[in-house]
Amino acid sequence: MTVNTKEMAGTPVETRSGLSVGKVGSFDLEAETGRLSVMRVQVPRMLAGLISDELLVAWDAIIELNNDKVVIADTAVPAQARHLAQAQPAPEVTFKEG
């Protein structure tokens, strides 16, 4: 399967255990080999204070990568950030009838 890195920007990223981490921002390649070395994940504001504005995920921590989502190892996310993300419920969306 071929995946276009430009199209991957904005794809949801979650841990193997199902914790939502953020969205794909970009990828870093090794200039000498052309291999992907790091995926940069844009994190939600609630995690940004703990792990900067982005999470750097090494290639070997990526478990699954497709156009729908990226799954990473739980250990790729610092423990304090995992705890905070689990404590924050997902916002509810309601629609008013007009």
Beta strand pairing call for 70-72 and 20-29:
unpaired
Q: Are strands 70-72 and 12-15 parallel, antiparallel or unpaired?
A: parallel
Question: Is residue 62 within 8 Å of 72, Cβ to Cβ?
Answer: yes
Other C-beta atoms closer than 10 Å to the C-beta of 98 total 3
- Residue 28, SS3 per DSSP: strand
Which CATH architecture does the domain made up of 5-75 adopt?
Roll (2.30)
Q: Of 4-8, 70-74, 83-87, 89-93, which one has max mean pLDDT?
A: 70-74
pLDDT, greater one: 74 or 78 = 74
Residue spans per domain, the chain? 5-75
* pLDDT digit string, tens, across residues 21-48: 889 999 998 999 888 899 999 887 655 4
The structure's pTM equals 0.73
